[in-house]
Chains A and B, each alone.
Chain A
């Protein structure tokens, strides 16, 4: 569905259903340079299972036009304004990678708006290598190569897609190739500069779930330890052998975990 946020058009995948005030709502926030299509399976699942769904495209991503937002804090604010635009008072928030920082930010600063929190592939700090940042800044395809291969575990680079017949590496790469110019760099910088994450984690009032990949080199398990310890009420699930692209590599197990908390 189309929303109007800050006077501009914004897109949210809703499973082709209007918001029903009688139902609870789940919000999905994508990662660096991506969009709502990474959440297609859980969006379709929850839309059929008695939830309102908002698979947001942040500004400059997917079907939401405009320049990208510069900081995680701004993105966190924008999510709340999207909730306002959709007429949703309170929601479960789910984020992947950069999106997990965004939903953490929203949940800490707007606790009255958040019912529960799920962070898929998260670490604080979410440090970005100089090589990736530099390549992204100049718009080199090297940045997309790094994002693609570093996001998929070595096993996933061989294949074995849960969705039959799909090549996960190719799908991930194509989505990043379709990102608007400058958006990947802007998102990476936002992740790199997000300095208040651990403080925010300490302020979380709702139940939280961390979903991590054992072989994730983008947000390694050891780098998630601090955020795990900071959140008062959290549970952590680590998928053996999985990389950062958990939604592709472990589609159904991630969904099963989300069902627990949203």
Chain B
């Protein structure tokens, strides 16, 4: 037999997890808009509840449409399984809560999505989970912050908003040296640009709201398990290696081996927290993922051209994009993200806060809103919107200058984007 040739990413993005429907031959994934599923008899029901047979019971736990999406992202990331959640935040919460409880500690990159920062800095402490935030460019800082009760190292493949590139192999090695898994939010990269599991990350979360769905029409998240972390050898994760009273003393690692983590997340977290993705949402994410490969290539192509344009513009102080050689992580991005460093970046408009505000209010094709990863180009000026209460020094402490604009470059004709930003930049400099 010839050496096996796995299916390529673009093929998996179109097909993984789905075969034409056996009843009617539907080629597209049907939307199973149903809460529950009929049992054949009482023993069949008991067998499903007790994980003896496969199938669906209730759509908070599993749903046939969601299952296709879960398989598809698992296939693209190279994992063993996934859970579709109501939002990216729900995926991150589910991922953390499956691992730890009161008295635990997380070491996280400080360059992360504001919602994740809020979760770790303010909300999880109320449940006894503390977080130490560190500079993602300083591996020693991760190492130094690890405590005896640390149960997770966390970072974003591409940090927010500075586009810091996480050195996933190095940070994973640090985490593993202390028998701790590395969870990576890979929303900005998507599996088309980065494969964190191939770099030894253990768990991936995505906000499916962004590039995966790609059109700004849904809120959703995905939690993906590599199946590679040695929970038993670590000895730090009783939720996975000791009998669970909430499921008839089930020991997940003993019975499920490599799929223990994602199974526990479903049997406990999906069941009890209940942040399930709606089937219609899963369908829309699947529609988006069908074109993920070609969209990401175009996103990156446009981002590189816009970043080049902005870097040489007289009204721009700086551009922070790891696809530019001026970015401190340029070489790391070339190595870890050879297909491109995403299409989200930030730049500084000369003239500070008022100029930034004039710029943002002058764009005509780009949309001024709080989101990223849409097919359409999006911009936001934190100093006049999300962070408007902060003065200059507070903004600086948060790593945000007064003229900073974040852009999520879309799929428009790039010449039109250049024209739009040109006129907005001219407007920004008028006093």
Q: Which chain A residues have a beta carbon within 8 Å of chain B's beta carbons? A: 13, 16, 35, 37, 40-45, 48, 62-63, 129, 131, 142, 145-146, 148-150, 155, 157-167, 169-171, 174-175, 177-178, 217, 251-252, 255
List, in ascending order, chain A residues with CB within 8 A of B82's CB: 165, 167
Contact B74 A167 (CB under 8 A): yes
Overall SS of chain A's interface = helix
Question: Are A166 and B1 closer than 8 Å at their CB atoms?
Answer: no
Give Cα A16–Cα B55 distance, bound, in whole angstroms. 23
Which one of A48, A164, A252 contacts B70 once the chains associate, using CB atoms below 8 Å? A164
Stretch at the interface among B256-264, B328-336, B375-383, B403-411: B256-264
- Interchain CB contact under 8 A, A171 and B227: yes
Contact between A37 and B70 (Cβ–Cβ < 8 Å)? no
Q: Bound complex: CA of A178 vs CA of B226, how far in Å?
A: 13
Kindly list chain A residues whose C-beta atoms are within 8 Å of the C-beta of B66: 164-165
Q: B64–A164 contact, CB under 8 A?
A: yes
Q: Which of B1, B50, B78 contacts A150 (CB 8 A)?
A: B1
Q: With both chains docked as a complex, state the minimum distance between the C-beta of A252 and any C-beta of chain B, in angstroms.
A: 5
A161 to chain B, nearest CB (A): 6
Once A161-B71, A163-B54, A165-B67 are accepted as A-B contacts, the answer to whether A174 and B80 lie under 8 Å apart by CB is: yes
Contact with A along B56-84 (1 / 0, CB 8 A): 10000011101110111011001111111
Tell me the nearest residue of chain A to B81, going by C-beta.
A166
With known contacts A48-B46, A165-B67, A165-B71, A150–B4 Cβ distance under 8 A: yes
Residues of B within 8 A of A (CB): 1, 3-7, 15-19, 46-47, 50-56, 62-64, 66-68, 70-72, 74-75, 78-84, 226-228, 243, 249, 254-259, 262, 266
Given A150-B1, A159-B17, residue A252 in contact with residue B54 (CB < 8 A): yes
**Do the beta carbons of B51 and A170 come within 8 Å of each other?**
no
A136 → chain B, closest Cβ, in Å?
Answer: 14
Measured CB to CB, the nearest residue on chain B to A55 is B255
Residue ID in chain B nearest A40 by CB atoms: B255
Most chain A beta-carbon contacts within 10 A, residue among B64, B82, B243: B82
CB-defined A-B contacts under 8 Å, sample of 12: A37-B258, A44-B52, A45-B52, A142-B3, A146-B1, A150-B1, A157-B6, A158-B19, A164-B55, A164-B63, A165-B62, A177-B228
A165 lies within 8 A of B262 (CB): yes
Please state if A217 and B72 are interface contacts (CB–CB under 8 Å).
Answer: no
Considering the chains assembled together, what is the distance between the CA atoms of A146 and B5 in angstroms? 9
**B19 adjacent to A164 (CB under 8 Å):** no
Given contacts A44-B51, A159-B68, A171-B259, 20 further A-B contacts (CB under 8 A): A146-B3, A158-B15, A158-B17, A158-B19, A159-B18, A160-B71, A161-B17, A163-B81, A164-B55, A165-B71, A165-B262, A165-B266, A166-B71, A170-B74, A170-B78, A174-B80, A174-B227, A175-B257, A177-B228, A251-B53
